[in-house]
Amino acid sequence: MGRYLLLIFIVVPILEIAVFIQAGELIGLWPTLGGIVLTAVVGVTLLRWQGIKTLQRAQANMAEGTVPISPMAEGVALVAAGALLLTPGFVTDSFGFLLLVPAVRQRIGAYLVKNMTVMTSAQGGFSPQPPPPGGSTQGGGTGKHGQPIEAEYEDISDGPPNPDTPWRKD
């Protein structure tokens, strides 16, 4: 983690300064500053358009009853693109624009989904399958240190409300 912080906070700004100096010598001060502002404006406009399309895909997935994992992972890539595009510099803008290419973003999203881990039971619980309709079910999982956790529960969502249940609001 320390290497990444070194890269982000020391190497990237030095690289950006070097590119600013070279661009300033090549095209002049004002065109260089204009290029920085122009890339930020164009980048944010493209980011907004791509973000709206990704949000629409996520909403369509939810309307179909599926979890919008891919659009959410692409949304993470779009957030990173936004941060890179708003950071002044040609190098960061290049990486930000690269994240706006749908094929690149989809590959990064697929990588994030593939390497995603899910915290289980000790951190709030997760079950990849819904419980069977009605009746008691026994389930198991693993706790913080790999110990099995056994539980019994009853699905009461289809039944009449129980006024004795303090957390239920009807």
Q: What is the pTM of this model?
A: 0.62
Most confident segment among 7-11, 16-20, 68-72, 124-128: 16-20
Q: For residues 126 and 71, is the Cβ–Cβ distance under 8 A? A: no
| Residue 103: CB atoms within 10 Å | 7
Say whether pLDDT at 20 is over 90. Answer: yes
Q: How far is CA 141 from CA 87, 97, 103, 120, 132, in A?
A: 44, 43, 37, 7, 17
Banded pLDDT at 120 (limits 50, 70, 90): very low
pLDDT for 156: 66
What percent of the chain is predicted at pLDDT more than 70? 70
- Which residues fall within 8 angstroms of residue 9, CB to CB, at 6 or more apart? none
Return left, alpha or beta for 141; rule: phi > 0 is left, psi -120 to 50 is alpha, else beta: beta
Find the range with the poorest average confidence among 61-75, 87-101, 141-155. Answer: 141-155
Alpha carbon distances (Å) from 16 to 8, 32, 44: 11, 12, 20
pLDDT of 157 higher than 60: yes
* Alpha-carbon span 54 to 57, nearest angstrom: 5
Q: Are strands 136-142 and 148-154 parallel, antiparallel or unpaired?
A: antiparallel
Tokens of 20: 């600013």
* 9 pLDDT more than 80: yes
122-148 pLDDT, tens digit each: 444 444 445 455 544 444 455 556 667
- How many residues are present in the chain? 170
| Tens digits of residue pLDDT in 33-58 | 999 999 989 988 998 998 999 889 98
Domain boundaries, the chain: 14-114, 121-154
Contact (CB, 8 A) for 43 and 97: yes
Phi-psi region of 135 (alpha: psi -120 to 50; beta: other; left: phi over 0): left
